[in-house]
Structure 1
């Protein structure tokens, strides 16, 4: 893909959201500012130059692709992932690609919810390089998301001799979070954080966010609030953390606190959804209308692209903002076939109850019982479904 085509595709990806915000208009004068673009990252510029200067060398391409992935994680902007894939295009489909390329390819496949393909890449890596800690951690993460607890624990076990103790504890806690071992997972994380001392900010954010979510699942509002705020001091713009805290606030009837929290993050679909849910809870229907229209435009654009990454969010949008329980149930079922995290389970229960389809609820109810899943909100939903 040429640079010009990549730029055009990036702009096209942005157009649906721009069109939904406001109708076209002519500026009053040439001095009027109509948009403010992000500042060019000087480090990114240097990485691009290095990759362009050595197109046959995977090392500068990997450095640039990793930077794009980091930017995508920080902003939840999917265009960065597309740019990372474009950088790796010369090696993308090659069976003899270096393991470093395969690992990044697995990360990008994981981000696109192509979990089977990502696992195939990771199993190739650990088969040829069994001491690759990042591959074991990524494999465990995918297994946890898909509900393969024994597989995730086994992968975490392989990680234990290769990574810091806190990372291993976090891996095991994530694997056990949706089982009857949830409280043990929380205690393991607390112990790991206490012992860790100085840790990388991204690891500390991951652990603090997980601890906050686990406290919320037990119904310990005070502990969850304190942990969320501590995590936000470490990473105030982390998109996953902001979404998790916004969900906590919504569950606690504190919708009025959500718009300020997410004010600068409306380009992120998941966070715009939380903003809209808060407006609905507050009865701010006039402000809700444009946010709902914007979300509809983004989900329609994703459907045209064949993008199924945000099925969970689309199910929430369809149920709570459009009021279409049957359509929401269909989306939640499609999503749950791919991933089985707590939020995936919860929206499936909510949509099934709203549509009064008890037959659709039976698989998820059996899975909850088999796993021993613990969460105060899900427990209430299960009681209603039983």
Structure 2
């Protein structure tokens, strides 16, 4: 019996063909595009499995899940788009909540929020209490600034039995509200009970607590929760990026650089690394971060994605010192998402560029939504050009 037949009997014919074809992706990128050879072997094999058996929707769904999750983890919008392409046959066939929810997660990453919400609405008719559906929709609504609309999703998580997620979701919706202290206290007390949770979820809960504390200037509490978040889930890019922001705001640049160490070069990581390296005058580090970030942004523009306009605005303001260009990108980003970071960069870029209208957009958002955000340094009626010391990476301290 030859090696080929032995391999096929051991692995199954479709997988056998996939394994043998994976190396051919280097010359035939197909579904993965021109960067196929740069992706992990497991991603290349999954793409080959689709080629080997294009009619098997289960293979396509599993491959799409891998593409989307990997793309989100490494900050690659093209790979996420490949995942959406792989899902298309399943989306066009029998009703199935799984591909609908997975596609919504992919569209959320690409900031096609309306498209994601439409898919979630379709999935809701099939699985109305699916926790991933409810949490994804809540997150999208929060990102869009619709925190009141997100709260029913949090209650839905509780009804579905996902009590951990429900508490975290509720704290997220109240993060920038006058009720933030109560939301913080409720989630903090729950975490003190040391509930049985997956490490990633435990880390996420502590990162939410750290965010609330950071935005309300409870610095000691924020520092403690960041440490716990990273201890629970060391691989979390979200926790590392938020912790770096916290340290940058305190001018602890060496510590911020350490917090980003070893993290995949996503746009969120790269822009913070560039800011820190600029402040530390580590020009080799700055040059590497700048080149990689610029390449990422150019690649995203080529596929029509502006998912990371916020990171680009921050780079233009805090690294390149180009406030007029920064405020333009910050305005574009504001049409997509409205969280603390989005308000912060629009406010700072507007002030630096002398764009009073941009600053007023943030002030109106705070007033109209009854928000309470001490760390944003927004005081309605305060003259925007009052004398202030500029904190690198955060802007004027009022």
The TM tier, using the shorter chain, reads 0.7 to 0.9
Counterpart Cα distance in 1 of 2:136 and 2:361: 27
Count how many residue pairs are aligned between Structure 1 and Structure 2: 359
8 Å CA contact 1:103–1:122 kept in 2: the answer is yes
**Are the counterparts in 2 of residues 265 and 272 from structure 1 also a CA contact under 8 Å?**
no
List alignment gaps of at least 5 residues for structure 1.
15-36
Q: Give the TM-score of the pair, scaled to structure 1.
A: 0.84
Aligned to 2:316: 318
Structure 2 SS opposite 1:385: coil
Pairs within 5 Å for 1:86-101:
86-92=85-91, 94=92, 96-101=94-99
Residue in 1 aligned with 2:118? 120
Tell me the distance in 2 between the aligned counterparts of 1:298 and 1:52.
28
CA distance 1:285–1:7, change in 2 (3 Å): same
Counterpart residue number, 1:346: 344
CA contact 1:165–1:192 (8 Å) conserved in 2: no
- State the shift of 1:112 in Å: 0.6
Distance between the aligned counterparts of 1:52 and 1:299, measured in 2?
30
CA shift, 1:188, in A, is 2.4
Provide the rounded CA distance (Å) in 2 between the counterparts of 1:114 and 1:263. 30
Which residue in the other structure is 1:34 paired with?
none
Does structure 2 retain, via aligned residues, the 8 Å contact 1:75–1:238? no
How many Å separate the matches in 2 of 1:366 and 1:7?
A: 45
Map 1:234-249 onto structure 2 (within 5 A).
234-249=232-247
In structure 2, which of residues 25, 30, 42 is the aligned counterpart of residue 6 of structure 1? 30
1:96 Cα deviation (Å)? Answer: 4.5
Q: Which secondary structure state, in structure 2, belongs to the residue aligned with residue 338 of structure 1? A: coil
Q: How far apart are residue 304 of structure 1 and its match? A: 2.6
Matched, 1:193 2:191: yes
RMSD: 2.7
Matches within 5 A, 1:1-386: 4-6=28-30, 9-11=33-35, 40-41=41-42, 54-92=53-91, 94=92, 96-195=94-193, 197-265=195-263, 267-285=265-283, 287-379=285-377, 383=382, 385=384
Work out whether residues 75 and 239 of structure 1, in 8 Å CA contact, stay in contact via their aligned partners in 2.
no
CA distance in 2: counterparts of 1:384 and 1:12, whole angstroms: 52
Q: Name the residue aligned to 2:3.
A: none
Distance, in Å, in 2 between the alignment partners of 1:113 and 1:129 is 23
Separation of aligned partners in 1, 2:288 and 2:52: 45
Query: After alignment, is 5-14 or 223-232 more displaced?
Result: 5-14
Shift in CA distance, 218/8, structure 1 to aligned 2, threshold 3 Å = closer
Kindly provide the CA deviation profile for residues 295-320 of structure 1, in whole angstroms up to 9, marking residues without a partner as x: 23332332232210100000001111
The answer to whether the 8 Å contact 1:269/1:295 transfers is yes
**Is 2:356–2:384's contact at 8 Å kept on the other side of the alignment?**
yes
Could you list the runs of 5+ residues in structure 2 that have no partner in the other structure?
1-23, 386-398
**Partner Cα separation in structure 2 for residue 167 and residue 10 of structure 1:** 38
Q: Match of 2:372, SS?
A: coil
Higher relative contact order (CA 8 A, sep 6+): 1
Deviates more, 1:201-210 or 1:127-136: 127-136
In structure 1, C-alpha distance between the alignment counterparts of 2:319 and 2:285, rounded to whole Å: 13
Q: In the TM superposition, what whole-angstrom CA distance separates every residue of 1:105-129 from its partner, at most 9, and x where no partner exists?
A: 1111111100011111111221343
Report deviation, 1:360. 2.4
Stretch moving more, 81-90 or 157-166: 81-90
Matches of 1:137 and 1:181 in 2, distance apart? 21
Q: 1:147 to 1:307 in 2, by over 3 A?
A: same
Query: How far is 1:55 from its partner?
Result: 3.5
Q: In the alignment, which residue of structure 1 is the partner of 2:6?
A: none
More divergent stretch after superposition (237-246 vs 346-355): 237-246
